[in-house]
Amino acid sequence: MSFLAPWLLYATVLASAPIIIHLLNRRRFLRVDWAPMKYLKLTLKANRRRLRIEQWILLAVRTLAVAALIFAVARPVSSTTDLAGFLRLQGRASRVIVIDDSLSMTHSSGGVSAFGRALQAAEQVLRALGPQDSLTVCTTSRPRSPFVRHAQLDSPDQVVAQVLALTPSDVASHWASTFAAADEHLQSSVFPIREVIVVTDLWSSGWGPDMVDLADRWATDGVTLRIVDVGLDPSENRRILSFAQADPVALVDTEVRFLAEIRNDGREAMLSEQALVSVNDVVQSVTLPDIPPGETVEAPLTLTFDEPGQHQLRLQLPQDSVPGDNERFLTVDVRRQVEVTLVDGDPGVKPFDSETDFLALALTAGNSQWKAQQVISSDWIGQPLEAPDVLVLANVDQIPPERAAELEALVQAGMGVLIFAGDEVDSQAWNEALHRDGRGLLPARIEQVREAESTGLIVEPLADSPLAALQRIAPEALARIRPRRVLEVALPADLPEHVRVLARWNDSKQTPALLEKRLGLGRVLFWTVTADRAWSDWPIEPSFVLSTRLAAQAVAARVSRWENLICGQPLRFPLDAQTLPQSVSIDRAGSPEPLEAVIDRAAAEGPEFLLPSTRLAGAYEATWDEPGLGARSRQFAVSPDARDSEPERVRESDLPRYLGQLIPKMLRFTGESLSLASEGTELWRSLAFAMIGLLLFESLFATWIGRVR
């Protein structure tokens, strides 16, 4: 038997307290002779043996209760051996050692991180292994790329040096894929005895029931799983869950809003703490709102950029017990102007005869930062599809399925789309290509055009609605919006979460006027009225200018499907097939050596360069030379995966939920010494129950022997 807290055994001297009290109480009595005492002495003499036995039993029970309490607090472990004996197997074995280097391993206590303890534990495991065994060593951030593969450990010093040189990553753990990679290493091993040793902090993130099937197969195949637990219970921690650009488009010399989601996992409130915001390495301080314990708060931030192009942002919280989740990176693409493509399905000859003339005027009048390009629908369908910030489809008769698929991909990536109804719209073709039973771009199925009897526009009271500002104008202005015809749509009884009605016509049916659908990073707004005066006189009302600008600003976005990543995701960027570079170099700020990206010529969406996995957070820059065009570069922001620092640990009793029939052998390393706690079952619960039983027995027995006889 061994103890996880052996220094507490010094308190066993307290078990002598009942004996000392007993001896002191014996000395308190004075001897006084009294005549009737001789008769009492005769009675006591007859019962002395029984009384003495009862007193000794009572004294022993009290002493054992105190000893049981001390032993329980010292956390005894049964069936222990030394580490070498614990790891010894009958025969030559194929071993896979997995070292957890996920973000939660940066959790520190007393100046030592869980990752530091993991390296010490891994070193001792390596030095205790047999020299003839086959050994594979990998980390959770790169489980399929071990730095030791099927090697014999004749001299552990070289492998130990490689282990001690490891650094923690900012990637979240995912144990199903890690165990699958370990299984692949075992399948290619040569020795029949197979074992996996996992050195981890046992924090709950990454553990799930998707591991059960593999674990059950390991149990059937006789694979041994040993878990070396180097973690501690979570302590005070704050983390940035997200940091994003709130305004769809960032423009030069215009305030741009950002939103950070910060969680306080500690037991005390965060009271107006200072955070640091870096813009291209220029640092400024911002004051965070108060965050109660266990709560998540959105912290707004406003910045202004005086130059177009890409800008790197970094948000940092004050240091705490898990430094890995205290920062977030963001790449912002600042534009000189917003690009809008107006696809006209009903062009005209005279001014304001075309379907998009009023839209072009509303979006560009008095605002040089909007650039509107009008194009006839037949020409637009025949041209290669570009990705403006906003695409407007006004009274377009139909969209070919191929173009519809391209549109969906761009909206998924962040492009905004405005759709206006009209007489040219082919309802059946639109439903087949763009609604697709709710899977396409259209928020609702198109039914028919009908005459309208509306007395105005009603804006739904939604706080985040693009038309929220219309609720602040005079009601008479909205009452003057009276369409003569509207396009009816069919909405399901229960709207999906990503579909909303933002405004309705004030008629008996409360006909939808504006619908919204969120698709990936983009949004689609669908007006059931025309953009010209064919169905209403709204385009000549001032509210038309305000409404169309609000709608366009809400959906406007720069396609940014590549620049902002979370650790563990691949870094990629499309390349021109005609000017493919020979190589692409990727630099991470603060890293001494650049990374070499892979050029994938057979990617599904066209040629691209690819860094399969990002292991560390930070600002990245890719540089390459395009033949005939010269040097090019692109910046990326990779943020830590804060999900990994969820403040909860996996208990030994929880493991069957994840490992099924596989029963792991548990080891514990606290870092207090350079020896591992050996295998065994903790006995403190049994001792606690024994102590409670002794106390109950003591109370009943003391009452029984003290009865009047």
Is 3.40.50.880 the CATH number for 338-555? yes
Q: How many CB atoms lie within 10 A of CB 394?
A: 28
Domain boundaries, the chain: 2-78+685-705, 92-233+650-679, 238-333, 338-555, 564-639
H or E stretch including 300? strand 296-304
pLDDT of residue 79: 53
Radius of gyration (Cα) for the chain, nearest Å? Answer: 36
pLDDT of residue 154: 79
pLDDT of residue 234: 84
Tokens of 473: 């104008």
Q: Using CA atoms in the order 29, 33, 36, 42, what is the torsion angle rounded to 10 degrees?
A: 70
Cβ–Cβ under 8 Å, residues 311 and 281: no
pTM over 0.85: no
Neighbouring residues of 357: CB distance < 8 A, sequence distance ≥ 6: 348, 351, 374, 532
Cα 20 to the center of its chain, rounded Å: 58
pLDDT of residue 428: 94
What is the dotted CATH code of the domain comprising 564-639?
2.60.40.10
pLDDT of residue 677: 43
pLDDT of residue 707: 64
93-99 and 134-139: which strand pairing? parallel
Q: What is the CATH T-level fold of the domain 92-233+650-679, as seen in this structure? A: Rossmann fold (3.40.50)
DSSP letter string, 433-468: IIIGGGTSS-SSEEEEEEE-----EEE---TT-TTG
Cα separation values, 338 from 92, 256, 647, Å: 67, 14, 43
From the list 347, 371, 346, the residue with the least C-alpha distance to 360 is 371
From the list 341, 523, 517, 333, the residue with the least C-alpha distance to 414 is 523
274-279 and 370-376: which strand pairing? unpaired
DSSP letter string, 650-684: --GGGHHHHHTT--PEEEE--SSSSS-B-S--B-H
From the list 483, 489, 491, the residue with the least C-alpha distance to 530 is 483
Q: Using CA atoms in the order 146, 152, 157, 160, what is the torsion angle rounded to 10 degrees?
A: 30
Tell me the C-alpha distance between 166 and 149, whole Å.
Answer: 16
Cβ–Cβ under 8 Å, residues 410 and 559: yes
Tell me the C-alpha distance between 586 and 597, whole Å.
Answer: 7
pLDDT along the chain (709 residues), means of 10: 60 69 60 59 64 79 83 66 55 89 92 92 87 90 92 86 94 96 93 93 94 95 93 88 88 92 92 92 92 93 93 94 94 90 92 92 81 93 88 94 92 91 94 92 94 91 83 86 94 89 92 93 93 94 90 76 90 88 92 88 86 93 90 95 92 92 88 49 72 82 70
pLDDT of residue 163: 94
What is the dotted CATH code of the domain comprising 238-333?
2.60.40.10
**Within this chain, domains 338-555 and 564-639 share the same CATH topology:** no
